[in-house]
Amino acid sequence: MLRKLLKYEFKATGRVMLPVLLALLAVSGLLNICVRVTEHSEGTVISFVTGMLAFLYVMAILAIGVVALVALVYRFYKNLLSDEGYLMFTLPVSVHSLVWAKLITAIVWLIAAFLDIVLSLFVLAAPLRLGWGIEFVQFIGQVFDELAAVGINGLEIAAFALELLLIVILGIIGSCLVFYTALSLGHSFSNHKMLLSVGFYFAIGFVTQIVVVMLLIGLGTTLDGTEFNYVYTLRSALNLGHATLLGICLSTLLYDAVLYFGTTFMLKRRLNLP
Amino acid sequence: MVNFECRALSKNFGHVQALENVDIRVESGRVVGLLGPNGSGKTTLIKLANGLLTPDSGEVLIGGMAPGPETKAMVSYQPDRPYLPQWMKARELIKFYEDFYPDFDTARALDMLSRLGVPSDRRIKQMSKGTQEKVQLILVMSRRARLYLLDEPIGGVDPATRDFILDTILRNFDENASIVISTHLISDVEKVLDDVVFINNGRVMLQSSVDDIRERNGMSVDALFREVFKC
């Protein structure tokens, strides 16, 4: 059932996201052409147009971020907590599937938006010379070689990259879930649903900050009391790095889990459609 | 076989008691009118049966089970408000229902769509309120569900469509299924009802078969309703 939900979710969000993503590529393509033309002519009109396109390009990048965020948060509200909720919550699917469908689409679109921005930079730089690609690969190879020379092998780098990627994805999930939790808390009331949702959003942020600060103080005082016989070697430094990243992963996962539980609990037990 | 049952069901909204100790049984093969004035608790009862609200005490059972994904597969529900995504076309919505409900009869839906003259490639947003309501009813009545819960289903459509829809309901009615229709347009639905439940201020005032009402009280359901709920 999750597959079917995802199909409709992508259809609904794609209506908004695809045009915006394509628009950025179109603007960068046009900008590329205009820059080329201005290199060979000195018309005021063309340089004005080029300037406008450059401005438009920056605005389009900002717009993608805003549209993605608004589209994904608004989608959760519109599809689950407004009148459409009568359709969605009477489908023979679990609340978990409904929330996961929203989460997965959000993650995919945010990643797509990132890739789209990278792609637009390539379009700006087009036509790409093959030489650049070769140079780039050589450069990366060099970096790996140098790291290997001091004893950091490819596996180590892959592990770090994986840990960072995990943190990014867990972070995206967390930032979506804060919106979802706030909306489902606010909409469990009969009146002032949106106002309360905004309030809950800031309240969750506030509580999270307090908890994080308390935990850091706790961690600091515990470490302060313990004696370290820490011998600085490359290995121990790398291990400390892994430990820190995995610690961040775990705490983000815990944060996500709490919010996920909050969202699904509210939608299951305290749903109060208008 | 009991398709729908409420046992000592209560629900509050803050200080407002929306339902109080409600007991209802709906057997298979019956068309039941859930009748009561505005704000009497009809919609709350139907939302509880769909799992859109959680009871404060007592229980709701659909085919013996508490509301969940399994019961939702058995229930065809028409809410009392426009609930279809505005950007979707009638045709896309038929596909949507077909995807999610194994008991959805696509041929029946397409047939009703053309009979009622609903353009299948128009978006819900571009349809009049009455046409939107037709689409909702077509989708809901094209399922071969065990329990139909229709909340004010015929309020916004013209009398000809109303008759067509009531005919469709009766013609396609399966022996094992039950229909609960909540309405205050009693005279229009009276001819299709087997049983009635009168509800007021969250309490069941009367639960009886239509035949009994006619025999015992010697009046139509509409007349009895007017007497019971006289202001």
Task: Quote the mean pLDDT of chain A.
Answer: 90
| Integer CA distances (angstroms), A272 to A72, A255, B210, in order | 21, 25, 34
Mean pLDDT throughout A170-199? 95
Q: Which amino acid is at A62?
A: L
Query: Residue B159: its pLDDT value, please?
Result: 81
Q: Which amino acid is at A10?
A: F
Residue A70: CB atoms within 10 Å: 11
Q: What distance in Å separates the CA atoms of residue B124 and residue A172, rounded to the nearest whole number? A: 33
Query: Residue B230: its pLDDT value, please?
Result: 80
pLDDT tens digits, one per residue of A133-183 = 888 899 988 988 888 888 788 888 899 999 999 999 999 999 999 999 999
Please tell me what DSSP assigns to residue B9.
E
Please tell me what DSSP assigns to residue B35.
E
* A49 has pLDDT over 90: no
Query: Residue B60: its pLDDT value, please?
Result: 96
* A-chain residue closest to B49, CA distance: A90
* Number of domains making up chain B: 1
Q: What distance in Å separates the CA atoms of residue B141 and residue A244, rounded to the nearest whole number? A: 58
CB contact under 8 A, B85 and A87: yes
Mean pLDDT throughout A63-67? 86
Q: What distance in Å separates the CA atoms of residue B52 and residue A169, rounded to the nearest whole number? A: 32
CB contact under 8 A, A92 and B47: no
Mean pLDDT throughout A261-267? 97
Q: What tokens were used for B118?
A: 């609903």
Chain B contacts to A (CB-CB under 8 A)? 13-14, 47, 50-54, 69-70, 72-73, 75, 77, 79, 81-85, 87, 96, 99-101
What is the percent of chain A with per-residue pLDDT over 70, rounded to a whole number? Answer: 99
| Integer CA distances (angstroms), B80 to A86, B13, B132, B153, in order | 10, 19, 12, 7
**DSSP reduced 3-state for B217:** helix
**DSSP reduced 3-state for B198:** strand
- Assign residue B150 the CATH number of its domain: 3.40.50.300
* B51 has pLDDT over 80: yes
Query: Residue A204: its pLDDT value, please?
Result: 96
Query: Residue A180: its pLDDT value, please?
Result: 97
Q: What tokens were used for A224?
A: 């302060």
User: Minimal Cα–Cα distance from A257 to chain B, Å?
Assistant: 23
Report pTM: 0.91
Tell me which of A7, A8, A16, A86 to substitute to probe the interface with B (most B C-beta atoms closer than 10 Å).
A86
Touching check for A163 and chain B: CB below 8 Å? Answer: no
Of B52, B96, B101, the CB nearest to A89: B52
Tell me which of B12, B44, B99, B151 to substitute to probe the interface with A (most A C-beta atoms closer than 10 Å).
B99
Query: Residue A150: its pLDDT value, please?
Result: 83
Smallest CA-to-CA distance from B171 within B139, B150, B141, B151 is with B141
Which has more confidence, B214 or A178?
A178
User: Minimal Cα–Cα distance from A6 to chain B, Å?
Assistant: 12
Query: Residue B171: its pLDDT value, please?
Result: 80
Q: What tokens were used for B33?
A: 């009118």
Q: What distance in Å separates the CA atoms of residue B147 and residue A190, rounded to the nearest whole number? A: 28
Please tell me what DSSP assigns to residue B201.
T
Look-up of token digits 């969750």: A204
Domain that holds residue B216: 2-228
* DSSP class per residue in A58-77: HHHHHHHHHHHHHHHHHHHI
For the beta sheet containing B31-35, the strands, ordered from the edge strand earlier in sequence to the opposite edge, are B75-78, B147-151, B178-183, B31-35, B195-200, B203-209
Query: Residue A79: its pLDDT value, please?
Result: 96
Touching check for A8 and chain B: CB below 8 Å? Answer: yes
Query: Residue A126: its pLDDT value, please?
Result: 76
Q: What distance in Å separates the CA atoms of residue B160 and residue B143, rounded to the nearest whole number? A: 22
Q: What tokens were used for A193?
A: 């649903």
Residues of B in contact with A2 (CB under 8 A): none
Q: What distance in Å separates the CA atoms of residue B207 and residue B224, rounded to the nearest whole number? A: 13
pLDDT tens digits, one per residue of B81-105 = 999 999 999 999 999 999 999 999 9
pLDDT tens digits, one per residue of B27-49 = 999 999 999 988 899 999 999 99
Smallest CA-to-CA distance from A90 within B106, B112, B58, B78 is with B78
Q: What distance in Å separates the CA atoms of residue B49 and residue B79, rounded to the nearest whole number? A: 12
Chain centroid to CA B146:
12
* A-chain residue closest to B151, CA distance: A86
Identify the band that residue A102 occupies on the pLDDT scale cut at 50, 70 and 90: very high
What is the percent of chain A with per-residue pLDDT over 90, rounded to a whole number? Answer: 60
Q: What distance in Å separates the CA atoms of residue B62 and residue B74, rounded to the nearest whole number? A: 8
Identify the band that residue A234 occupies on the pLDDT scale cut at 50, 70 and 90: confident
Query: Residue A74: its pLDDT value, please?
Result: 92
Of A67-81, A256-270, B144-158, the poorest mean pLDDT is in: B144-158
Report the range out of A38-52, B83-97, B209-223 with the highest average pLDDT: B83-97
CB contact under 8 A, B70 and A8: no
Mean pLDDT throughout B129-151? 91
Touching check for A2 and chain B: CB below 8 Å? Answer: no
pLDDT tens digits, one per residue of A5-17 = 999 999 999 998 9
Query: Residue B186: its pLDDT value, please?
Result: 85
Q: What distance in Å separates the CA atoms of residue A103 and residue A181, rounded to the nearest whole number? A: 12
What is the length of chain B?
Answer: 231
Which has more confidence, A131 or A247?
A247
Identify the band that residue A68 occupies on the pLDDT scale cut at 50, 70 and 90: confident
Q: Which amino acid is at B182?
A: S
Residues of B in contact with A84 (CB under 8 A): 83-85
Query: Residue A132: its pLDDT value, please?
Result: 83
Q: What distance in Å separates the CA atoms of residue A237 and residue A156, rounded to the nearest whole number? A: 12
Which has more confidence, A98 or B216?
A98
* A-chain residue closest to B67, CA distance: A90
Residues of B in contact with A272 (CB under 8 A): 53
Touching check for A18 and chain B: CB below 8 Å? Answer: no
Identify the band that residue A39 occupies on the pLDDT scale cut at 50, 70 and 90: confident
Identify the band that residue B53 occupies on the pLDDT scale cut at 50, 70 and 90: very high
* A-chain residue closest to B79, CA distance: A86
Query: Residue A164: its pLDDT value, please?
Result: 95
Which has more confidence, A127 or B181?
B181
